[in-house]
Amino acid sequence: MQSFQHYIDGRFEDGAATFESLDPADGRPWALMPDASAADVDRAVRAADRAFTDPRWAGLTATARGKLLMRLAELVEEAAPRLARLETRDTGKIIRETSAQIAYVAEYYRYYAGLADKIEGAHLPIDKPDMEVWLRREPVGVVAAIVPWNSQLFLSAVKIGPALAAGCTLVVKASEDGPAPLLEFARLIDQAGFPPGVVNILTGGPGAGAALTTHPKVAHIAFTGGPETARHIVRGSAENLAKTSLELGGKSPFIVFDDADLDSAANAQVAGIFAATGQSCVAGSRLLVQESIREDFLARLKAKAEAVTIGAPDNMATEVGPLCTRRQRDRIEGVVAASVAGGARLVTGGAAIAGDGFYFPPTILDCSSVPDAPSVTEELFGPVLSVVSFRDEDEALHLANDTRYGLASGVFTRSLTRAHRMIRGIRAGIVWVNTYRAVSPIAPFGGHGLSGHGREGGLAAALDYTTVKTVWLRTSDAPIPDPFVMR
């Protein structure tokens, strides 16, 4: 089996213990991963804290930081095929998706490379004639970045890129599920020439995560994952009052009106729920379709779902691969069964595929008669689409907002006025109109409610890793009057 190491203070090293990583395609161990102890985490945080004030990093100009990020972008682009193969092997995500996504990750580092020397302060037109006052934007300090296994190189780039552009240092914890590509990415950090301790990468279970998020030297916690873990992080951060940014997934509505281009909407819906085997925080897992076109649209989706090629994730012909873990597959199967037992109509799929690996087929449930079915309300993180029909625009908006989440949404209509009304009314951080799952380093990404808070991507993310310092400079040469002499 292959073995991987932590990257701490500029050195590759073994963990306090190891654990086996399973290949989701056959369920067999294929690699040994380092399991970080609390002591490992402490060393990584202290290394990041030293690096934060080390002149080799703190003394760099913003332009110089940008050049390091640009070099990192070049290395990511060169290494994309190797990283894609590792991600496919360790997470089961199909090679056609990992190859395309990791190649695009380089654009995020390029964007933040260019942004590094454009994070500006401000001069204030203060109301005191003998004062000059300005604001400096300075890096917040040590960042704890915690990313899940799905799209981990993308989800780490939207944290590492802006944090480094701002001048912070980081400890990145990869998920214990499928951490290989992020541990391998550490080699690119090393090759790019970042000073020791600026970026540290390790992996481990909940104990490592708790040690990291409660560490007194961590100033900012950037987390992507589930709401329950986020609650533990927020509670733990109370001790050091670390700032938090949380991206927690969603139960995104995909709304199709009867005037939409149904072929286009069907293709977007299939991509929105079955791409990445449904393991995406923005998966369009709740289809809200106008009642008059429900059966027609369901027939289109059923045909497309049943035509999907399910197979080995390293085969370029495969369109849906395995889920990342056995527990995930088993949970999805249980929720689907409970929804059907509660009155949902199974349109296609519905049961795990027998044999090796963690495979679950594209599944469609018509929940129009049970809009509160578990598959409608719970984030499943798998290829399961729950369908609820609506009569008119008001009901569509009500159903779209009838969720504790608020990350993404999609609206398909040819009516420009209706699109604007829906944009205004939907409570979500992202609204895609007549498209779905489009992303860019230029555009902020994030939500509210159980989908978290804070934004990743764009200038907003870089500013989130800074703190504002207000500087007052007295311009008068006259002595300051004695405050205790009455005049």
Kindly indicate the confidence band of residue 487, based on its pLDDT and cuts at 50, 70 and 90.
low
Asked whether the predicted pLDDT for residue 199 surpasses 80, the reply is yes
| Average pLDDT estimate for 376-394 | 97
Residue pair 406/251 in contact (Cβ under 8 Å)? The answer is: no
pLDDT digits (tens, 9 = 90+) for 127-185: 999 999 999 999 999 999 999 999 899 999 999 999 999 999 999 999 999 999 999 99
What's the pLDDT at 486? 74
The least confident of 74-83, 300-309, 476-485 is 476-485
Percentage of the chain beyond pLDDT 90 is 96
- Taking the C-alpha atoms of residue 151 and residue 8, their distance in angstroms, rounded to an integer, is 23
Range list of H helices, 92-197: 95-115, 152-166, 180-192
pLDDT digits (tens, 9 = 90+) for 8-17: 999 999 988 9
What tokens were used for 153?
């190189």
What's the pLDDT at 424? 98
Asked whether the predicted pLDDT for residue 260 surpasses 70, the reply is yes
CA 382-341-348 angle, to 5 degrees, is 50
What's the pLDDT at 195? 98
Q: Which residue in 247, 319, 379, 456 is the catalytic one?
A: 247
Reply yes or no on whether 107 is catalytic.
Answer: no
pTM of this prediction?
A: 0.95
**Dihedrals φ, ψ of 39, to 5°?**
-70, -40
pLDDT digits (tens, 9 = 90+) for 404-455: 999 999 999 999 999 999 999 999 999 999 999 999 999 999 999 999 999 9
- Taking the C-alpha atoms of residue 197 and residue 187, their distance in angstroms, rounded to an integer, is 13
What's the pLDDT at 483? 87
Coil/strand/helix, residue 108: helix
What's the pLDDT at 28? 95
Give CA separation, 45 vs 8, 51, 172, 266, in Å.
Answer: 9, 10, 10, 47
Mean pLDDT of the chain: 96
Kind of pairing between the strands at 286-290 and 253-256 = parallel
Ordered by where they begin, the domains of the chain are: 2-247+457-472 (3.40.605.10), 253-433 (3.40.309.10)
What's the pLDDT at 263? 96
- Coarse DSSP helix, strand, coil percentages of the chain, rounded to the nearest 5 percent: 40, 20, 35
- Burial (CB count <10 Å: 0-12, 13-18, 19+), residue 256: buried
What's the pLDDT at 16? 84
What DSSP state is assigned to residue 234?
H
pLDDT digits (tens, 9 = 90+) for 16-58: 899 999 999 999 999 999 999 999 999 999 999 999 999 999 9
